[in-house]
A and B are shown apart, each in its own frame.
Chain A
Amino acid sequence: MRLRNLLFAAGLIACLVSFGFALSSASARPLPVNGEVEAALSLPQSGSQPQAADNGFCLSCHANEGLKVELDSGEILRLTLDADAFQASVHGANEVACISCHTDITGIPHPERTVNTLRDVTLKYYTSCKECHAEQFNLTLDSVHQRSLAAGNNNAAVCADCHNPHTQARMTDPASGELLDEARLHVPETCARCHSAIYNAYQQSVHGSALTQEGNTDVPTCIDCHGVHNIQDPTTATFRNSTPYLCATCHTDETLMKKYGLSTQVLNTYVADFHGTTVEIFNKEFPDQPTNKPVCTDCHGVHDIAKIDDPTKGLAVRENLLNRCQTCHPDANANFPDAWLSHYIPTPEKYPIVYYVNLFYKFMIPGVLIPMAILAAMDFTRKMINLSRKSKRVPAHEAPPISEAEAAAPEEIQAESVEPAAISEEAPPVSEAMPETPATPQTLAEESAAAPVEQTDGEEPTAPTDESKNDNEEAPHD
């Protein structure tokens, strides 16, 4: 038994250790730059062709002009590499070896060609990127492009469609990892290779024109809204519902908005108003639910967002705003757009009705309700004081207690109660248990229908001694 356990443990350790080695060798795989490639490859051919891994060796043929091959599809695959352009690229600068991507090339002669179209070439090699760029590659696996590719669309973008590996310049600051302004400027052009219609709209927009014409990198490019490598389907309800927060990443940024004189209240005013309040709840509860409530893009546009004072699209122009309202509220007339506070916080100048209604309640609620609460509290206090005085007095005097509140009233009433007593002669006597019998037909139907009821007293419950000692004190009644 013991031996078996021991053996099992030893086996387990052995497994773990070997697994650990495998892992560490995988993760510690060196960037195969020129000098190290030999060691990294350890190929049988490397003995016969020691210089095979050298980029210079590759270029000795592939720098030649006019090197090309016709594929089965009839397309021409150019095999000439612009050595200067490669040297200027981020890969060239880092001395990345040709064969670290072109892993199938192990010597001369090259292996049999297996690709039939130009697209096949790209699709064959793009997985090599993950050897060095695993993080980015894994993000793309979650993207709408990758899903489209998996669904059989060979034209869906892969790494090399956006980043030409032979010419791609450095994109991020090596120290901070931030995207360089130079790279940011060219993002829309990259996407435009496929999404040209959207690019044209973007170029006209307040954001796109600033980027493409003024070189302003404060504005969002494609990737700021859609993400970089894990680009999501923007037509889902989830994406639509999240739009307000997407826009808010910049539009609630104080420093950035101050620079352009824009309000940072756009999100909270949206959430506080009719439309946003529902979208906000959906975002918190079930963000994948479609809603007919508008989000930012429904009024301001998606890629063609204009300045608010733009004469044809700007929402500060009344007709444009009314047009937007009428897409959902077709019967709206010219008064209607004012029902929407346009992201403003009401002031006496802007939306005075709302401002003064708010002001009214600001004073009315505390001004009326607090005094009422105080009165009720005072009433309660006085009532309690009366009660405690009453119960204290009873055992001392052994006399029927008369509270101050009642002091005047019962006496007077008893003096005057001759007249009601006259009515009571007609009423049934107390012993008859018919509490609601209407007994006085001579009185008005609504008033003073006399009937015998138990005696009641509102101010009594806490004095236990009363019950036995005070005859003419009202009997406790609940």
Chain B
Amino acid sequence: MTEFMAIFASAVQQLLSGDPLIWHIVGVSFSVSLSAILIASLPALLISFSLAYYHFPGRWVIISLVNSLLGIPTVVVGLLLYLLLSHSGPLGELQLLFTRPAMVIGQVLLCFPLLVAMSLVAFQAADQRVLETARTLGATRLQAFLTLLYEVRFALIAAVIAGFGRIIAEVGCAMMVGGNILHHTRNITTAIALETGKGEFVQGIALGVVLLMVALMLNVSLGWIQSRTRVLQQL
């Protein structure tokens, strides 16, 4: 137990000392995962809206597919993407393997089903009359849609945060298509995998602490936005 505490203490110390290597690794994680979530969010939103409000043939097939994809192992996504992007694969000409754009693509694929599934639930739970009411009050289609988004904003934010949580914490796909190259594609999770492999537990814990702090910040800020909005509504 004392050894555990000692490792933890020196991890915090290492973080605070501003080791540029650690912060570069953290930067890779954030730039990749933020890019991925930004790219994935809007299409996922539109698809889940269509699934919730338009009843077209094959709708349930798509919903079942999305729900099944929630459980796909990250390393499988990584492997499929690897085979696509490998120079001997169909998209090899793009020369994307072992680059950050490849990691972004992988993470877009990973968070997409989660975003769609959670937004779909949000839209389905919303009062179906919001759209009609907005339209009868003279709103354009776009305005009505935006009003609906506003109504379910917390659930949508929660979906984005959950999606972000999945991809910033995943290691399998980033390792496969990123390759864990120092100063290039090494992110928090692949670095943890490497450091634990070397027996450098302190470094691993330090990076784990960063991930925990990110999770904490996300949840605190979500809670803060929610509570602030409630206060505003009461005024």
Asked whether A and B interact, the reply is no
Name B residues whose Cβ lies closer than 8 Å to a Cβ of A.
Answer: none
